[in-house]
Amino acid sequence: MADVESGEVLEPQSRHVVYCGVCTMPPEYCEYGGTVKKCQEWLEKNHPDMYIRIWSPEALAAATASLSIEAQKRAAKDAQKKAAKAEAAEKKEADKIAHSIVTIKRIERNKRKYVTSVSGLEAFGYELKKVAKDFGKKFATGSSVTKVPSGGEEIVVQGDVSDEIEEFILEKYKDVPEDNIEFVDDKKAKKAAAAAAGGS
């Protein structure tokens, strides 16, 4: 990636700028992103030459020399605060993922006819609409996102695909751990409800 600096010369081609794979900003701005540690690791691995240019002790010293000591202190404090914040946010996110459960529900619609509902995938950061489309493609059935009365949304797939859908989720959506998938068979509840409705 030596062409990064060539932009100063007037040439018809556009420049290609390297962006940090962690915080998406140009690497020289990583220090303001809050994920400095990770950015450094990433840069060292992927663009060692840039890493040396930006994070070598000489470069850092030159960069901070122009600031007054007081300003330096303030900046350092600010950076620390930001890093802590980013870390906390990440931890929270990881926690959330660890505790979220994907529920696969087989619902009896009519004797021997079923629909499969999947809820909880949104907690892993997937877009339900896209996932629903994928399910539909995979199983060649209708698949849609519907609102649940208790708020939130779930994916409803036509037909009983509960076993296959688990495999598919594990294969395609790697963020979902196997232990976090839960099966529910909604047959009895429906029957009881139907009986209750019939009885009254």
Closest Cα to residue 146, out of 173, 180, 118?
118
Write out the E strands in the chain: 102-110, 113-119, 143-147, 153-158, 181-185
- 153 versus 160: smaller Cβ distance to another protein: 153
Please pick, from the candidates 21, 38, 46, 75, the single residue that binds another protein as defined by CB under 8 A.
75
Q: Check residue 123 for interaction with another protein (CB under 8 A).
A: no
Which residue in the set 41, 44, 49, 78 belongs to the binding site for another protein (CB under 8 A)? 78
Could you tell me the smallest distance in angstroms from the CB atom of residue 8 to another protein?
8
CB 40 within 8 A of CB 55: yes
> Cβ 158 to another protein, closest distance in Å?
26
Beta bridge partners of residue 58, listed in sequence order: none
**Separation CA 46–CA 21 (nearest Å):** 9
Q: Which of residues 31-60 bind another protein (CB under 8 A)?
A: 32-33
CB atoms within 10 A of CB 50: 19
C-alpha to C-alpha distance for 20 and 43, rounded to whole angstroms: 7
Q: Is 26 one of the binding residues for another protein (CB under 8 A)?
A: yes
Which one of residues 1, 3, 6, 17 is an interface residue with another protein (CB under 8 A)? 17
- Helix, strand and coil content of the chain, in percent to the nearest 5, comes to 60, 15, 25
Interface with another protein by CB under 8 A: which range of 25-33, 87-95, 100-108, 111-119? 25-33
Of 1, 3, 6, 7, the residue at the interface with another protein (CB under 8 A) is 7
**CB of 138: closest distance to another protein in angstroms?**
21
- Binding of another protein at residue 71 (CB under 8 A)? yes
SS3 state at 153: strand
Binding positions for another protein, rule: CB under 8 A: 5, 7, 10, 12-17, 23-26, 28-29, 32-33, 62-63, 66-67, 71, 75, 78-79
